[in-house]
Structure 1
Amino acid sequence: MRPTTPARPTAAGLGGRGSGVGVQGSRFGIGSRGSGFEGRGSGFWVLGSGVGVLGSGVGVLGSGFGDRELGEPLRCMTGRTRRVEGTKIVQRRAVPAVLTAALLLTAGCSADSSDGADPSGTDRGASPTSTAAQSSPAGSPTEQAPPAKGSVKVLRTVATGLNSPWGLAPLPGGDLLVSSRDEATITRIDAKTGKKTELGEVPGVSPSGEGGLLGIALSPDYASDHMVYAYFTSASDNRVVRMLYDEKKPSGEQLGAPDTVFRGIPKGVIHNGGRIAFGPDKMLYAGTGESGDTGLSQDEKSLGGKILRMTPDGEPAPGNPFPDSPVYSYGHRNVQGLAWDGRQRLFASEFGQDTWDELNAIKPGDNYGWPEAEGKGGGSGFHDPLAQWSTDEASPSGIAYAEGSVWMAGLRGERLWRIPLKGTEAAADPQAFLEGEYGRLRTVAPAGGDKLWLVTSNTDGRGDAKGDDDRILELEVE
């Protein structure tokens, strides 16, 4: 939630979670797949009616954590933080220093709890929960909420035998492009027959941990320019490139040389974000992660832990909340889902740490709290999620909007969530479908009307892969 009366602070202070500037502790974990740092208590600022509010805090002893996308606890060791500043591509203007926040952390470690998935059903008391997004406008009187309860029907399996699928981009003719995180390839799927045609391998991808070839999107002018955009992890950063797709060329040679339009997003073994999408305004949006360095989320100079908004050429988009900056919202941990409703309002899914996963209604310039807050009730200056889940029920990745609801794919939760909306609030409690039937769910995308595409994620080393995995399903929803 945002402050109702912005005021210039006269001194820093310490307090609890509700104060927004309190001692939250710090966490550090390291394991065989990499390391991540979970710091808390860093200073933050928020934009409220044009006035910045600055607070600071000190993080003290904490505990280790288990990264839930990896699906295993990370063993805790001593270490130090890694500071990364985002940079744009050469010859582009640098993101200005809007705020320098002091960060003082004293880290400690302890054993983490098990991250095994809860096999029980979904109606379990207070979890999951929904709440009004208090800093967002409620639905107008003319907006009608969808029914509180919906349904999901699996119409057919479109394709099988995919390796570590991640991003999905429907083509104008109805076929699908799907990216392979670990193989760094893009493949075309015939939506009628399931036939696979490899476009080619994207050069420069460096798969490791949660990094690799991630989200893909078609240019808003695809009909004329035939450009495919991709977000991937390189040896030095996460970046966005675009490539000409020429389907007349032989299989494996259909992608042109990549043109880097944006670079400098922090990379890590964990929390690389990776979802990209063109909005109704034809601007390119990218969800990023803090790469395990939580201090990046509250630092507007960094591109980590943000939602970015840029032109198709990678320049800061006109109308962004921070001048000459691609940063659209901040205080995020790991954003892997972006979708717009019928009134062009943006929603995003976000991995929490050990307490709450989130679905947020995104407002330009708002602070979504991480690492100072996780879930709702984070205190003044933070935008509360419209819905939240315990971590074993979700670990959300892709989202899509259809039939008045946001549909959210769960990795560790192994289920598809329906969140009915009225404006930017949840109209009813979230409802789960397909629980445990298809394993980990990575990506969901609109297929027109009441249809959705759903992509599983069981062959990336973290799921229980079956003979036909991974697959793409067509769903009918309401």
Structure 2
Amino acid sequence: MSPRRRRRVAAPPVALALVLALAACGPGEPTAERPAASTDPAPSGSPGSPDASASPSPRTGTLESPETLATELESPWSIALLPGGGALVSERDTARVVEVLPGGGTAAVAAIDGVVPRGEGGLLGIAVRDGRLYWYATRADGNAILRASLEGSPGERTLGEPEELLAGIPAAGNHNGGRIAFGPDGMLYATTGDAGVPARSQDPASLAGKILRLEPDGSVPADNPTPGSPVYTLGHRNPQGLAWSDDGTLLATEFGQDTWDELNVIEAGANYGWPLVEGAAGDRRFVDPVQQWPPAEASPSGIAVAGEALWIANLRGQSLRRVPLDDLASSSVHWQGEHGRLRDVAAAPDGSVWALTGSTDGRGRPSEGDDRILAFEP
């Protein structure tokens, strides 16, 4: 395997074009029935320092009655919390990055150039680290991971020239994986799907059906399981959740096919079985999930650790699942059918949990104001 890494991408004049309002033209353009997201003024921060925004206000929502932080998002996919308050959200089908301001309201940041949305592909996972935005996106030549400097102050942020970190990840209309997150070891982790070809998941030379581990600059860490390879684990169908417990344990959620969705404890170099097995198999060649559910009750996407528990956003299950970290085999289900499909969840610096709905992804039944971000104290 010879993945392409760290190639500088020349940005054409329209690349990462600054969007002055969420009514900018492009896929998912707001209509009279779906007005653009609000652009309320935000507290000022130090220009050029995206982490220097105002201190976050305490959340007032509860699990039973969550607070609404943002509405009118179009096919949102991922939340990246900003250390000083507020967050960035990726929109899969519009390829836009939207800022949720610390003081309320939203503002557009940029339209990412070169994204080719199709089916489950588009602008997917995002993460913020050391003043840069990282993203996972579907392009004409497959899925890729890129980054750019995040500049400006709240409500006036822009992106610098994009830098390609890893390309050549197989893409398809479904099973693109797409979650990226930084671990406590400072490494960048990414989930990839089998892109509709199950055999790729068991092929160590393919980037499909894997969890990948990279240095922040896209190079391969010296202590990865296979020297020179970004592959950290294999045997995955379509994982979309990554989170770490306080003791450094990596947890991942994964979409099954017809039988079982999974919650897995991720171990370096391990094989999770797909397509040879789905769910727990008791086969010593593979790592069994610590918990599994019928897909109609789950379809687990983003996850986060907060308040001594793991929180899981469920799409088909239209619910938020809580898994206590001291008992990974048990769980409780909340919000059943109350807020539609849930795509992502994140732990905010103030201790609250942010949940991103996903009813405008073409498979849900959006209500007025969807999609939205809901917040509560765990």
Q: What TM-score results when the alignment is normalised by the length of structure 1?
A: 0.66
| SS of 1:272 mapped into structure 2 | coil
Match of 1:254 among 153, 158, 173: 158
CA contact (8 A) 1:158 1:191 kept: no
CA contact (8 A) 1:357 1:395 kept: yes
For residues 309 and 349 of structure 2, the distance between their equivalents in structure 1, rounded to whole angstroms, comes to: 14
CA contact (8 A) 2:6 2:219 kept: no
Task: For structure 2, list consecutive stretches of 5 or more residues without a partner in the other structure.
Answer: 9-61
| 1:467 maps to 2:368 | yes
| 1:227 maps to 2:138 | no
Q: What corresponds to 2:4 in structure 1?
A: 88
Report the CA distance between 1:257 and its aligned residue. Answer: 2.2
Distance 1:330 1:384, change over 3 A: same
CA contact (8 A) 2:101 2:154 kept: no
Report the CA distance between 1:475 and its aligned residue. Answer: 1.6
Q: Deviations over 1:221-254 (max 9, x none)?
A: x2xxx21000000011100110112225995x81
Match of 2:201 among 286, 297, 301: 297
CA contact (8 A) 1:203 1:258 kept: no
For residues 154 and 309 of structure 2, the distance between their equivalents in structure 1, rounded to whole angstroms, comes to: 40
The letter for the 2-side match of 1:203 is: D
Alignment of 1:111-150 (within 5 A): none
Report the CA distance between 1:189 and its aligned residue. Answer: 0.7
For residues 145 and 253 of structure 2, the distance between their equivalents in structure 1, rounded to whole angstroms, comes to: 20
| 1:404 maps to 2:303 | no
Match of 2:337 among 425, 433, 436: 436
Alignment of 1:124-273 (within 5 A): 152-193=63-104, 195-219=105-129, 222=130, 226-247=131-152, 254-273=158-177
| SS of 1:295 mapped into structure 2 | helix
Report the CA distance between 1:471 and its aligned residue. Answer: 0.2
Report the CA distance between 1:429 and its aligned residue. Answer: 2.1
Q: Deviations over 1:341-366 (max 9, x none)?
A: 00111000000000000000000000
For residues 227 and 213 of structure 2, the distance between their equivalents in structure 1, rounded to whole angstroms, comes to: 12
Higher relative contact order (CA closer than 8 Å, sequence separation 6+): 1
| SS of 2:199 mapped into structure 1 | helix
Report the CA distance between 1:441 and its aligned residue. Answer: 0.1
Report the CA distance between 1:154 and its aligned residue. Answer: 3.4
Report the CA distance between 1:315 and its aligned residue. Answer: 1.0
Match of 1:452 among 332, 349, 353: 353
Report the CA distance between 1:474 and its aligned residue. Answer: 0.4
Rg (Cα) greater in structure: 1
CA contact (8 A) 1:86 1:303 kept: no
Supply the RMSD in Å over aligned alpha carbons: 1.9
Match of 2:250 among 346, 369, 394: 346
For residues 366 and 152 of structure 1, the distance between their equivalents in structure 2, rounded to whole angstroms, comes to: 35
The letter for the 1-side match of 2:110 is: G
| 1:317 maps to 2:202 | no
CA contact (8 A) 2:93 2:122 kept: yes
CA contact (8 A) 1:274 1:288 kept: yes
For residues 190 and 442 of structure 1, the distance between their equivalents in structure 2, rounded to whole angstroms, comes to: 20
For residues 308 and 90 of structure 1, the distance between their equivalents in structure 2, rounded to whole angstroms, comes to: 15
Report the CA distance between 1:378 and its aligned residue. Answer: 4.6
| SS of 1:154 mapped into structure 2 | coil
The letter for the 2-side match of 1:356 is: W
The letter for the 2-side match of 1:382 is: F
Q: Deviations over 1:235-289 (max 9, x none)?
A: 11100110112225995x8112211111111100000000000111110000110
Q: Deviations over 1:11-35 (max 9, x none)?
A: xxxxxxxxxxxxxxxxxxxxxxxxx
Alignment of 1:365-376 (within 5 A): 365-376=269-280
Q: What corresponds to 1:31 in structure 2?
A: none
Report the CA distance between 1:404 and its aligned residue. Answer: 2.0
| SS of 1:297 mapped into structure 2 | helix
Report the CA distance between 1:447 and its aligned residue. Answer: 1.6
The letter for the 2-side match of 1:463 is: G
Q: What corresponds to 1:387 in structure 2?
A: 291
Distance 1:472 1:249, change over 3 A: closer
For residues 245 and 353 of structure 2, the distance between their equivalents in structure 1, rounded to whole angstroms, comes to: 14
Distance 1:250 1:452, change over 3 A: closer
Q: What corresponds to 2:265 in structure 1?
A: 361
Q: What TM-score results when the alignment is normalised by the length of structure 2?
A: 0.82
CA contact (8 A) 2:6 2:166 kept: no
For residues 469 and 364 of structure 1, the distance between their equivalents in structure 2, rounded to whole angstroms, comes to: 38
Q: What corresponds to 1:134 in structure 2?
A: none
Q: Deviations over 1:140-161 (max 9, x none)?
A: xxxxxxxxxxx93333100111
CA contact (8 A) 2:7 2:165 kept: no
Q: Deviations over 1:175-216 (max 9, x none)?
A: 1100110110101111432x2111111111000000000000
